[in-house]
Amino acid sequence: MSDFHHISVLPDETLEALCIQPNGIYVDCTLGGAGHAGRIAAMLSPAGRLIGIDQDETAIAAASERLTDVSCKVTLVRDNFRHLRDILAHEGLSAVDGILFDLGISSPQIDTAERGFSYMQDAPLDMRMDRRRARSAYTVVNAYTAAQLAGIFYTYGEERWAKRIAAFIEAARKSRPIETTGQLVAVIDRAVPKAVRAKGGHPAKRVFQAIRIEVNEELTILADAVKDAVHALRVGGRLAVITFHSLEDRIVKQTLRDLARDCICPPQTPVCICGHAPEVRLIGKARAASSTECAANPRAKSAKLRVAEKL
């Protein structure tokens, strides 16, 4: 697994945000190659504990290798973070000291052509982070209606040419299924007007993002996952969430804002009757990667770190 190489973004800022306690219990919900997790584990004593969750078997294997020599107790779970509550219950944990989400896609997933995440390499249409799942990018591209595809491209990719691209896909697959990323890119390239393509940026970028999000249900589970994480924290525990595009950041930002509110009565209510108390305290504003980090790791350019503390 030594070829599994992923540079974690905002590493120092993330450790600072989590306020690591040597004897604490920490959960990395998006383990990857254990970049963040390895740093957390290095700060824990033998009494501390790290739980790493990832749905990608390659990531679990790489993390297992990387975390072999740490002194704290380590538990690695191949699962989706949507099941955080069940995972912690299975481990006999009622509360933990810190939880991390590093959302998006890891470098090895993008760079491994056969995973089908990249529009820069020709490979079978897949895009499953958990390859045990039945639905793949092939299913989405070939089985969804043109209307469904257009909705996904517009909603998850913010693609202005969503309907046109969906129509071109529908027309292309009538003769034969679209089986590879290269074939899909060619269809998208034909659908997007030449003048638009000339303005810069790969024409398939937004569509590939949208299909990946749909395949892995990345946004539909996010708000509930953040809420579950907050509920799993002990008082004073920290939640750190790293996002990489506006869609997921918007969900995280709004969910944390809602959890930080006290009164949730309708604005026209003259006196508070809800009795609602805030569950978290927001810690500062969203943090971005430094110019130095972005120069060393271009994938950090869009990263934002949001932090909340359980009340």
- 5 pLDDT higher than 70: no
Do 225 and 274 touch, CB atoms closer than 8 A?
Answer: no
Round to whole Å and give the CA distance between 251 and 246: 9
- 286 pLDDT higher than 70: yes
pLDDT of residue 104: 76
- 107 pLDDT higher than 60: yes
Q: How many other CB atoms sit within 10 Å of the CB of residue 117?
A: 27
- The model's confidence at residue 109, banded by pLDDT at 50, 70 and 90, is confident
Identify the residue with better confidence: 50 or 267.
50
Q: Which two tokens stand for residue 278?
A: 């805030």
Round to whole Å and give the CA distance between 11 and 6: 12
- 266 pLDDT higher than 90: no
- 2 pLDDT higher than 70: no
Do 138 and 177 touch, CB atoms closer than 8 A?
Answer: yes
pLDDT of residue 1: 45
State the average pLDDT over residues 29-43. Answer: 96
Do 48 and 25 touch, CB atoms closer than 8 A?
Answer: yes
**Least confident among 71-75, 85-89, 192-196, 244-248:** 192-196
pLDDT of residue 4: 57
Round to whole Å and give the CA distance between 283 and 262: 16
Round to whole Å and give the CA distance between 223 and 229: 10
Report pLDDT digits (tens) over 148-207: 999 999 999 999 999 999 999 999 999 999 999 999 999 999 999 988 887 878 999 999
- 247 pLDDT higher than 90: yes
Round to whole Å and give the CA distance between 173 and 184: 10
Q: Which two tokens stand for residue 148?
A: 């469904």
Q: DSSP letters of the chain? A: -TT-----SSHHHHHHHHT--TT-EEEESS-TTSHHHHHHHHT--TT-EEEEEES-HHHHHHHHHHTTT-SSEEEEEES-GGGHHHHHHHTT-S-EEEEEEE-S--HHHHH-GGG---SSS--BS---SSTTSS--HHHHHHHS-HHHHHHHHHHHH--TTHHHHHHHHHHHTTTS---BHHHHHHHHHHHS-HHHHTTSS-TTHHHHHHHHHHHHTTTTTHHHHHHHHHHHEEEEEEEEEEE-SHHHHHHHHHHHHHHH-S--S-TT-SS--S-----EEE-SS-EE--HHHHHH-GGGTT-EEEEEEE-
Q: What percent of the chain has pLDDT over 70?
A: 98
Round to whole Å and give the CA distance between 219 and 179: 25
Do 15 and 39 touch, CB atoms closer than 8 A?
Answer: yes
What phi, psi does 286 have (nearest 5°)? Answer: -60, 135
